[in-house]
Amino acid sequence: ATPGDRTAPPRRYGLPLPRRARAGDEAHPAETAEHWLGARDLPRAFDATLAAYRHARASLAVIGTIQHGERLLDLWPDVPDAPQRAGRGLADLACEVVTALNEVDDDADRARRYARAVFAQLGEHDPVGRGALHRLLAVVLSNVGRSVDEAAAELAPARALLEPQQGPVRDAALAMDESMELITDETAPRTEIPRRAEECMRLAMSSGSQHAVDVVSTHTAWALADRGYYVLADTVIARVGPPAIALLGVHSQTVATHVMLWLGRY
């Protein structure tokens, strides 16, 4: 069979599927993507994969989020207007995929591979996005039990990228970075932790991002409790609002549970 013979059937099957998805049938974006990949129509495959990815995220289907997100990252270099189609930058998408990987996979090296590929594509562009991705790698490394030095090695370039920038998005990312540093910094004097935690929270709140406030509250509460500031940690973790993403709620409630145990509130 010629290449045209091989791609014609997927095109015929792929054409009606988006109409069914627009009509409310959520089962077909991933199937549509498969047909467009078979037809070698990468922009349409990208759009269909994006629809499947958004549906998986909205449904809190973490495995589907990872699978479709990884395909989007693979397709990104071959779709020239990918940022316009996705409505976000490459680093933002990579951060979402690495966050999902962090929930279900202990393979930190897998997250690193994707991050390194994204860094190579971005070059010197999007320092805020690159900084946020470095921070997420530090979170992954910390969660799988890697050394504190490995996590710190990701936080250092994150801070270097973020500090010269300006704006609320930078403030949110830097606040999350600095609050993660509170957990990994084993050399900081105990008495400095409350002050640094307050500075992180003030920066997060100034950014206007509730997500940043929730993440920073979770990080700083853990850091405070780890140094024996249990009552203060309890006050901080209470700032976490009803999370838009249930998985963040899992992390914050886990920290809240630990704080309650340390306080003897069984």
What's the CA gap between 151 and 148, in Å, rounded? 5
Confidence at residue 21, expressed as pLDDT on a 0 to 100 scale = 43
Q: DSSP string of 50-115?
A: HHHHHHHHHTT-HHHHHHHHHHHHHHGGG-TTHHHHHTS-HHHHHHHHHHHHHHH---HHHHHHHH
Confidence at residue 7, expressed as pLDDT on a 0 to 100 scale = 45
AA identity, residue 201: M
Confidence at residue 60, expressed as pLDDT on a 0 to 100 scale = 79
Confidence at residue 20, expressed as pLDDT on a 0 to 100 scale = 47
Confidence at residue 228, expressed as pLDDT on a 0 to 100 scale = 94
> Residue 236 to residues 169, 180, 200, 239: CA-CA distances in angstroms?
22, 15, 12, 6
Q: DSSP string of 117-163?
A: HHHHHHTTS-HHHHHHHHHHHHHHHHHTT--HHHHHHHHHHHHHHHT
Confidence at residue 105, expressed as pLDDT on a 0 to 100 scale = 66
Mean pLDDT by 10-residue block, N- to C-terminus, for the chain (266 residues)?
48 49 53 80 91 88 90 94 94 90 77 89 93 90 79 91 94 94 89 96 94 92 94 91 60 88 93
Confidence at residue 187, expressed as pLDDT on a 0 to 100 scale = 87
The 3-state DSSP composition of the chain as helix, strand, coil percent (nearest 5) reads 75, 0, 25
pTM: 0.77
Confidence at residue 208, expressed as pLDDT on a 0 to 100 scale = 94
Which structure tokens are listed for 155?
């936080």
Confidence at residue 107, expressed as pLDDT on a 0 to 100 scale = 73
Confidence at residue 13, expressed as pLDDT on a 0 to 100 scale = 47
Which structure tokens are listed for 263?
């306080």
AA identity, residue 101: L
> Residue 133 to residues 37, 81, 114, 151: CA-CA distances in angstroms?
28, 22, 10, 12
AA identity, residue 142: S
